[in-house]
Amino acid sequence: MQIIARLYALSKRNVILRYKNSLVGFLWGFIKPLIYLLIFIVIFSAQFITVSNYVLYVTSGLIFWFFFSNLTAQSVQNIISSAGLIKAVRMPLILLPLSELLSELFNFLLTLMVYFVVMYWFGMQYSARLFLLLPCIVLFSCFSFGITLVLSSVNVFLRDVGILWNTIQPALFYLTPIAYPASMIPERFVFIIRYNPIYYFIQLVRTVLYESSALSWTIWIQCATLAMLSLSVGLFLFHKLKNQFIAAI
Amino acid sequence: MQQYKMEMNDKLILVENLALSYWHNNVGVHSVKDLLTLRKNPFTLKPILHDVSFELDKGQSLGILGRNGSGKSTLLRAIAGIIKPQKGRVVVNGSIAPILAIGAGLELELTGFENIKLLLALYGQSKNMAEQINDICIFSELSHEVLNMAAKCYSAGMLARLAFSISLANDCDILIIDEVLAVGDKGFQEKCVQKIYELKSLGKTIIFVSHFPDEVEKLCDKALLLENGTIINQGNVNTICNQYRQLF
Ligand SMILES: Nc1ncnc2c1ncn2[C@@H]1O[C@H](COP(=O)(O)OP(=O)(O)OP(=O)(O)O)[C@@H](O)[C@H]1O
Ligand SMILES: [Mg+2]
């Protein structure tokens, strides 16, 4: 019970801090993908006429990408910026990244609701299949949380990690087939996609939101494996390092 | 730490052979070479506390004295369970109020009220939240206007008032004070000292870090003197305070 109250209070703090002195606040969650979408439509849509319903293709990828990118970018600094709390309050430290996940999930769900309406115009079909989005979100959250744990705990000791992550994030974005179809990549570079875990999750989301072909088990199993792997590595590292956080902040 | 609870009933706090070290980061721009050649481990362990042992009975108050950097704040954090010791053990037989240090735990970007709610939730509440917020407002003597301001706009004394009032909001057996009284104005200092005496007369234990031996002599039954992370002497307050005065 107390854990829930603590998580709620911490998540609320994150939300307040994030949108402090911001004019549109939550709407940023909606506007960010929209801006990218417009840019892509202007630049790319003539290029990729092979993709049927390009707008829906891009949107479904973008909103999930931004969940991942917002979460990781914000929580890289999470432990460091909570130095005051860590030094004063006795609490399970895992609550800090967890609260970051919760507040970003909250933000994401609001965004998703808006896009549920918008995507109808783009040609998304309302059907029972959309409920599969729920396990998608759970798996993607586990995966992102694992990455978050690694980034936020290692960044305490080596600040290069935060800088490095912010630098490679755009590269990661363009290495993931979000704005372009995966089939466009030349044969000899396909391995890049194959080793990009985010690609699998974007693919999974698209089987629910974009495609209407039969569901395949393989992609679900791949994503579940990735999620478990990332989560266990993250938890392991975090627990190894957490006792020394206080020495470095 | 909690699992030892049953073992001892008369002792309130028992610290045994406590040793604590911090990772010291050697990574810097000039040491990238060391990192690459792996000639030097980028992290070394820097001992902060070693072989610290003491005990405290119920209702007793403890003063901790020592030079700057002797490890007093670190010891307090170990007692409060914020840092896990590498060696030895810390047994506490009661609830500990949040450590009182200047601006402890306050989030400077949040307003006073938001801070109060956040910290009360994190510390765990023993009473009704609205009631506690009201108590905090009254004790801190900060107006609603001030409490609606971001904490970064507070003066040092206002921060101390807020931190002090929040830490006192819960009923706890042990109160830990880390040289916080110095910044409040005269009125608030007297109010705090009075409150501390009131809590002491209620049978609560106070662990008091201060650089003013006179205050320690007034408030504490026992004292210990830290030097470079070890206890060089402990016992009677007057002896320890005199020894502390002779350090300088
Ligand atoms: N994050 C850290 N990393 C490495 N060493 C640290 C860290 N924090 C504190 N220390 C070292 O630990 C020792 C004790 O620090 P501590 O804050 O406990 O001192 P203190 O007795 O409270 O001093 P003061 O009277 O100034 O408050 C100091 O030598 C300090 O250099
Ligand atoms: Mg100190």
Rg (CA), chain A: 19
Task: Write the residue with the smallest CA distance to atom 27 of ligand 1.
Answer: B68
Q: What is the pLDDT of residues A18-44, one digit of tens each?
A: 888 888 888 888 898 999 989 988 888
Averaged pLDDT of chain A: 90
- To the nearest 5 percent, what fractions of chain B are helix, strand and coil? 40, 25, 30
Strands of the B11-25 sheet, one edge to the other? B43-57, B11-25, B87-92
DSSP assignment of A102-133:
HHHHHHHHHHHHHHHHHHHHTTPPPSGGGGGH
For the segment B47-60, the average pLDDT, to the nearest whole number, is 89
Which of left, alpha, beta for B192 (phi over 0: left; psi -120 to 50: alpha)? alpha
Chain B residues inside the 8 Å CB shell of A157: 23, 25, 27, 43
pLDDT of residue A239: 94
Chain A residues inside the 8 Å CB shell of B118: 9-10, 12-13
pLDDT of residue B164: 85
Tell me: pLDDT of B202 over 60: yes
The residue whose two tokens read 């969940």 is A67
Task: Write the residue with the smallest CA distance to atom 1 of ligand 1.
Answer: A247
Q: Which residues contact A44 (CB under 8 A, 6 or more apart)?
A: A54, A179, A180
Tell if the CB–CB gap between B107 and A84 is shorter than 8 Å. Answer: yes
Out of B108, B114, B122, name the one closest to residue A16 (CB). Answer: B114
pLDDT of residue A120: 85
Q: What is the rounded distance in angstroms from the CA atom of residue B97 to the CA atom of residue B182?
A: 20
- Is the separation of the CB atoms in B204 and B60 below 8 Å? no
Tell me: pLDDT of B30 over 70: no
| Ligand 1 neighbours (beta carbon < 6 A) | A 247; B 22, 24, 46, 48, 66, 68-74
For the segment B25-33, the average pLDDT, to the nearest whole number, is 59
Q: Is B50 helix (H, G, I), strand (E, B) or coil?
A: strand
- Is the separation of the CB atoms in B55 and B89 below 8 Å? no
pLDDT of residue B64: 93
Cα of A215 to nearest chain B Cα, Å: 44
Q: Is B49 helix (H, G, I), strand (E, B) or coil?
A: strand
Cα of B75 to nearest chain A Cα, Å: 12
Q: pLDDT band at B1, cuts 50/70/90?
A: very low
Tell if the CB–CB gap between B82 and A16 is shorter than 8 Å. Answer: no
Q: Note the ipTM here.
A: 0.86
Question: What are the residue ranges of helices labelled H in A45-177?
Answer: 54-75, 78-81, 83-88, 95-121, 133-157, 160-175
What ranges make up the beta strands (E) of B128-198?
174-178
pLDDT of residue A19: 85
Tell me: pLDDT of B39 over 80: no
**Higher-confidence position of B99 and B76:** B76
Task: Write the residue with the smallest CA distance to atom 30 of ligand 1.
Answer: B69
Mutate to test the interface with A, among B113, B122, B128, B133 (most CBs of A within 10 A): B122
- Is the separation of the CB atoms in A89 and A126 below 8 Å? no
For the segment B139-152, the average pLDDT, to the nearest whole number, is 90
Q: What is the pLDDT of residues A149-195, one digit of tens each?
A: 999 999 998 888 999 999 999 999 999 998 888 888 888 888 888 89
Cα of B104 to nearest chain A Cα, Å: 6
Tell if the CB–CB gap between B77 and A6 is shorter than 8 Å. Answer: no
pLDDT of residue A104: 94
Tell me: pLDDT of B6 over 60: no
Tell me: pLDDT of B219 over 80: yes
pLDDT of residue B40: 60
Q: pLDDT band at B42, cuts 50/70/90?
A: low
Q: What is the rounded distance in angstroms from the CA atom of residue A65 to the CA atom of residue A54?
A: 16
Tell me: pLDDT of B241 over 50: yes
Instruction: Give the residue from A134, A112, A10 showing the smallest Cα distance to A62.
Output: A112
List chain A domain ranges: 2-248
For the segment B90-113, the average pLDDT, to the nearest whole number, is 84
**What are the C-alpha distances in Å from A196 to residues A171, A176, A200, A201?**
12, 7, 8, 10
Question: A220, exposed or middle or buried, with CB in 10 Å at 0-12, 13-18, 19+?
Answer: middle
**What are the C-alpha distances in Å from A71 to residues A108, A144, A168, B5?**
10, 8, 15, 40
**What separation in Å is there between the alpha carbon of A93 and the centre of ligand 2?**
22
Cα of B99 to nearest chain A Cα, Å: 6
Q: pLDDT band at B9, cuts 50/70/90?
A: low
> pTM of this prediction?
0.90
pLDDT of residue B34: 56
For the segment A223-227, the average pLDDT, to the nearest whole number, is 97
What is the 8-class DSSP label of residue B214?
H
Stretch among A214-228, A231-245, B171-185 having the lowest mean pLDDT: B171-185
Task: Compute the C-alpha angle B7/B205/B71, nearest 5°.
Answer: 85
Tell if the CB–CB gap between B121 and A9 is shorter than 8 Å. Answer: yes
- Which of the listed ranges A233-237, B4-8, B50-54, B71-75 does the model predict with the highest average pLDDT? A233-237
pLDDT of residue B36: 61
Tell if the CB–CB gap between B105 and A84 is shorter than 8 Å. Answer: yes
Tell me: pLDDT of B138 over 70: yes
Q: What is the rounded distance in angstroms from the CA atom of residue B15 to the CA atom of residue B3?
A: 14
Tell me: pLDDT of B8 over 60: no
Tell if the CB–CB gap between A84 and B24 is shorter than 8 Å. Answer: no
Task: Write the residue with the smallest CA distance to atom 17 of ligand 1.
Answer: B73
Tell me: pLDDT of B140 over 90: no
Instruction: Give the residue from A108, A101, A110, A111 showing the smallest Cα distance to A75.
Output: A101
Q: Is B81 helix (H, G, I), strand (E, B) or coil?
A: coil
Instruction: Give the residue from A107, A100, A130, A123 showing the smallest Cα distance to A33.
Output: A107
Chain A residues inside the 8 Å CB shell of B105: 84-85, 87-89
pLDDT of residue B41: 65
Q: What is the rounded distance in angstroms from the CA atom of residue A244 to the CA atom of residue B7?
A: 29
Ligand 1 atom nearest residue B179's Cα? 27
Scored b (16 or more CB within 10 A) or e, B91-121 reads: bbbeebbbbbbbbbbbbebbbbebbbbbbbb
Tell if the CB–CB gap between A87 and B104 is shorter than 8 Å. Answer: yes
- Is the separation of the CB atoms in B64 and B227 below 8 Å? no
